[in-house]
Amino acid sequence: MSLITRVATACFTACPGVLFFGLVMISGMSREYYWISILAGVSVLLGSALLFGFFVPPAFHPKWFWIMAAGFAAMLMALLSIAVLNATPLCVGQDNGDGNNSFGMCMGYVMLYAIFYGIPYILLLAVSAIIGNWAIKLFKQPSVRK
């Protein structure tokens, strides 16, 4: 597989991650205790989407499936990193206004992140995969010489 195809796949895999990373950066949640774990999660999402988008493609035949598989794996890595961070004192024991967070509440937050951010991420990833499939096919078209 050519380097340009791998780079294009990595870029299309990372597009939804870039959007989520930008939203977290401009949201201004820096005063809240959970901002560190969310920032780490979207950083892992963006980094692993780039890595998986670059290395996963040869394993699958349809190009759109490459992008979807790599993006889904990146989302799972991000959720795992948030779960690990939420099991630490970054979340457990923090005062949330109604009392202190328990371990169950912090893991519940991870499930809520998976539902409320995972669904839009997968939808954006599907759009990116369709556009990426079209673009990669366009790049691989042989040029016609006269």
**pLDDT band at 90; cut points 50, 70, 90:** confident
Per-residue pLDDT at 12:
92
Rounded Cα–Cα distance for residues 68 and 63 (Å)? 9
Average pLDDT along the chain: 86
Which pTM value belongs to this model?
A: 0.86
Per-residue pLDDT at 103:
93
Rounded Cα–Cα distance for residues 84 and 77 (Å)? 11
Summarize pLDDT for 104-115 with one digit per residue, the tens: 999 999 999 999
Q: Out of 4-8, 41-45, 65-69, pick the least confident.
A: 4-8
Q: How many CA atoms lie within 13 A of 126 on its CB side?
A: 6
Per-residue pLDDT at 108:
93
Tokens in use for 136?
């990669």
The arithmetic mean of pLDDT across residues 92-104, rounded, is: 86
Rounded Cα–Cα distance for residues 67 and 3 (Å)? 15
3-class SS at 101?
A: coil
The arithmetic mean of pLDDT across residues 83-95, rounded, is: 89
Per-residue pLDDT at 144:
53
